[in-house]
C-alpha cells in the first residue's frame, strides 16, 4: 500500500487530499483531449484505491467503463441497465435481491446524482453492508446536467455529512477535489468539439501553474468550488 492509499484510508471534511499527488500532469494533459477533466481525475483517483474484501458496485457491471480500474478482492455489481452486464439487473427502487450483511464495501461511482430517492438506496445499502462496512462515493459537483437516464442532484459537503450521519454512518471523510479554476471554468462553459481539446489542455497547464505559484489560494478555491467529492465512511454496528 503506497503513501497516497494510506492517506486515503487513514486521513470529516478535509482538504488534505491533494489531487496533484494523485493525478499525473502528463496523463491528465493527454487525457483531456478525448475525455473530460472530471473523468480523467476521477479515474486516476479510483485507480489508487484498493478495496479489501467483498465489494458491491452499485451502478456498475462488466461493461462499465471503469470496471477494469477497480482494484478489489471480490466484485459484485447491480445496475438498472442490462447492457452494462451487472450481476443483478434491477428496476428503479427495487429492493436488492442479495443476502443481508455480506459486503465489506459498497462503491457508488458517478451514480448518486442519478438517483432521486437517496433514502431508499441507502436503506438497501445498510441491509447488505456488514457492521463497520465501508461506503465509498465519488460524485460530481461542478458538472453539466447529464442523463443515464436522469440527473437529479448536486449536493454540498455539508449535505453529505448530515445525510450520512442521519443514516447511521460514522468516521465520515469528505474530500472536495478539483484540478483548478481554469479547467472548472472550461467544463461548465461553452464547449465546441473542434476546439475543446486544445483549450482544455491549455487550462490544465494554467491550473498546474496556479497551484504551484499560489498553493493557499488553490486550496481555498478547491474547498469552495470542487469539481467533485470523494467520500468514505463506515456503517455503525446495528
Specify the 3-state DSSP secondary structure of 137.
Answer: strand
Q: Where are the alpha helices (DSSP H) in the chain?
A: 3-10, 25-31, 37-48, 118-128, 157-166, 181-188, 196-213, 215-224
**What are the residue boundaries of the structural domains of the chain, listed by start?**
3-235
- Span 3-235: which CATH code? 3.40.50.150
Give the tens place of pLDDT for each residue, 161-197.
Answer: 999 999 999 999 999 999 999 999 998 887 777 788 9
DSSP annotation of 167 reads T
**pLDDT recorded at residue 4:** 44
pLDDT band at 10 (very low <50, low <70, confident <90, very high): very low
pLDDT tens across 191-237, in order?
777 788 999 999 999 999 999 999 999 999 999 999 999 999 999 99
| pLDDT tens-digit readout, 112-150 | 999 999 999 999 999 999 999 999 999 999 999 988 889
Position 3 confidence tier, pLDDT thresholds 50, 70, 90: very low
Amino acid at each position: 500500500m503506497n503513501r497516497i492509499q494510506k492517506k486515503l484510508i487513514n486521513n470529516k471534511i478535509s482538504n488534505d487530499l491533494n489531487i496533484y499527488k494523485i493525478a499525473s500532469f502528463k496523463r491528465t494533459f493527454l487525457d483531456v483531449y478525448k475525455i473530460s477533466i472530471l473523468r480523467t481525475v476521477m479515474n486516476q483517483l479510483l485507480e489508487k484505491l484498493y478495496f479489501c474484501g467483498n465489494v458491491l458496485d452499485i451502478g456498475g457491471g462488466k461493461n462499465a467503463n471503469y470496471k477494469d480500474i477497480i482494484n478489489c478482492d471480490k466484485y459484485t455489481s447491480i445496475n438498472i441497465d442490462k447492457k452494462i452486464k451487472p450481476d443483478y439487473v434491477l428496476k428503479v427502487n427495487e429492493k436488492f435481491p442479495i443476502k443481508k450483511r455480506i459486503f465489506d464495501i459498497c462503491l457508488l461511482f458517478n451514480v448518486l446524482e442519478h438517483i432521486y430517492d437517496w433514502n431508499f438506496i441507502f436503506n438497501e445499502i445498510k441491509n447488505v453492508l456488514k457492521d463497520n462496512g465501508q461506503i465509498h462515493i465519488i460524485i460530481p459537483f461542478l458538472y453539466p446536467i447529464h442523463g443515464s437516464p436522469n440527473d437529479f442532484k448536486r449536493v454540498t459537503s455539508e449535505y453529505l455529512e448530515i445525510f450520512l450521519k442521519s443514516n447511521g454512518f460514522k468516521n465520515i471523510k469528505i474530500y472536495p477535489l478539483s484540478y483548478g479554476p481554469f479547467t472548472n471554468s472550461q467544463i461548465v462553459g461553452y464547449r465546441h468539439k473542434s476546439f475543446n481539446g486544445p483549450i482544455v489542455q491549455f487550462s490544465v497547464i494554467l491550473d498546474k501553474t496556479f497551484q504551484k505559484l499560489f498553493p493557499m489560494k488553490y486550496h481555498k478555491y478547491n474547498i469552495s468550488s470542487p469539481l467533485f467529492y470523494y467520500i468514505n465512511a463506515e456503517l455503525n454496528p446495528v
